[in-house]
A = this chain, B = another copy of it.
Amino acid sequence: MTLLAGVVGFRGYSGAELVAILDKHSGVSPVLLEHRSDSEDRPRPRGAIGPERISCTAEAAAAKGLAVVFLCTPHEASMELTPHFLDAGIKVIDLSAAFRLKTAANYLQWYKDAHTAESLLAEAAYGLPEFYRDSIKGARLVANPGCYPTAANLAIRPLVESGIADLSAGIICDAKSGVSGAGRKPSLKTSFCEVTENFSAYSLLDHRHVPEVLQNSGLELAQFSFTAQLIPIHRGILETIYFRAKESTTAAEVVEMYEKRYAGEPFVRIYDPGKVPDIACVARTNFCDIGVKYDPATGRGVIVSAEDNLVKGAAGQAVQNMNLILGFPETEGLL
């Protein structure tokens, strides 16, 4: 029997990717929840029949028998919609930042807004399966991680936990993303002529994804520098992460540490010592790929972590979480 999964915000880049993944899923079919209709659809052939569309209310969702709803909405909308779906007995996987931080105070500090669904913060599971698989499995509400923090935490947390990195020298994460990370709403910053043949840094040191990395990696603010940057490409994230080792090691040892940590993980892949992935290695996949370069002479190391921001950084990871909470094999629809 096929379960139904609602998608709110299906016209956005993450939402459209999610619908495409669900279309290939053997156990779930998508239903579109019409929340706002202000952005345009792309041209479609005659007779094309997409997923069914219903109105975006808890009543309609319950009547339709949805097992889960994905929210590909701004965080304000997610805070508003989530309680209604949960009250109707429908599980929620939220792709916004609404439920990622553990306290309303932290949310207020970074998002400059009072949290309007504070009571749900404690119960929301942080949807990074490689670290929180068990709590995700039983959750009603999953906070799907941000695109930058997914690639950052998968690379940084093992470096911290293993004790390899000398945190007194800090960890630097120089992150670059394709333009789809900024969403589909037209703006000057994402206009073609402003982006093509350009490369720009933004939110230096104060990007909203910083607290999400701190909360899940074990780093403190003073130990972490983060820069977000815009690559003139549609999709993909590459993060170049710098550390200094506590004591002399080798690239092979660092690689081995990652391999042990991620043994059995279907969506994290490690490269040979000295080799690193590029964005094309992970584009349109749910993989996060990690490579290591290390110079024993100086103790300085570099990690390259790459993912597709719309897949492992958003829709793919959301389906991975859905597979966990609905009891499907974790890789279903994602390989």
Residues of A whose CB lies within 8 Å of any CB of B are 13, 39-40, 42-48, 168-170, 172, 174, 176, 178-180, 184, 186-188, 190-201, 204-206, 221-222, 225, 227, 229, 231-236, 238, 240, 242, 244, 255, 259, 269-272, 275-281, 283, 287, 289, 291, 293-295, 297-300, 302, 304
- Give the Cβ gap from A227 to chain B, nearest Cβ, in Å: 5
How many Å lie between the Cα of A46 and that of B275 in the bound state? 10
Q: List 9 A-B contacts (CB under 8 A).
A: A174-B242, A192-B192, A196-B197, A196-B232, A198-B280, A198-B283, A199-B278, A200-B280, A201-B240
A-B interface, 8 closest residue pairs, ranked by CB to CB distance from nearest: A200-B278, A45-B269, A204-B293, A174-B174, A222-B298, A186-B186, A179-B192, A192-B195
- Give the Cβ gap from A138 to chain B, nearest Cβ, in Å: 31
Given contacts A13-B193, A227-B302, whether A276 and B234 have CB atoms under 8 Å apart is no
Smallest CB-CB separation from A278: which chain B residue?
Answer: B200
How many Å lie between the Cα of A45 and that of B292 in the bound state? 12
Given contacts A43-B276, A46-B272, A222-B298, whether A197 and B236 have CB atoms under 8 Å apart is yes
Asked if residues B259 and A46 are in contact (CB atoms below 8 Å), the reply is yes
Smallest CB-CB separation from A258: which chain B residue?
Answer: B46
Asked if residues B198 and A276 are in contact (CB atoms below 8 Å), the reply is no
Q: Which residues of chain B are near A295, meaning CB under 8 Å?
A: 205-206
Contact for A191 among B192, B272, B300, CB less than 8 A: B192
How many Å lie between the Cα of A294 and that of B178 in the bound state? 25
Contact for A186 among B42, B174, B191, CB less than 8 A: B191
Contact for A279 among B200, B234, B289, B300, CB less than 8 A: B200
Contact for A201 among B39, B169, B276, CB less than 8 A: B276
Contact for A234 among B193, B240, B277, B289, CB less than 8 A: B193
Asked if residues B190 and A191 are in contact (CB atoms below 8 Å), the reply is yes
How many Å lie between the Cα of A194 and that of B281 in the bound state? 11
Asked if residues B234 and A199 are in contact (CB atoms below 8 Å), the reply is no
Q: Which residues of chain B are near A186, meaning CB under 8 Å?
A: 186-188, 190-191
How many Å lie between the Cα of A180 and that of B196 in the bound state? 11
Q: Which residues of chain B are near A188, meaning CB under 8 Å?
A: 39-40, 184, 186
Given contacts A45-B277, A227-B240, A278-B43, whether A302 and B196 have CB atoms under 8 Å apart is no
Contact for A232 among B45, B231, B298, CB less than 8 A: B231
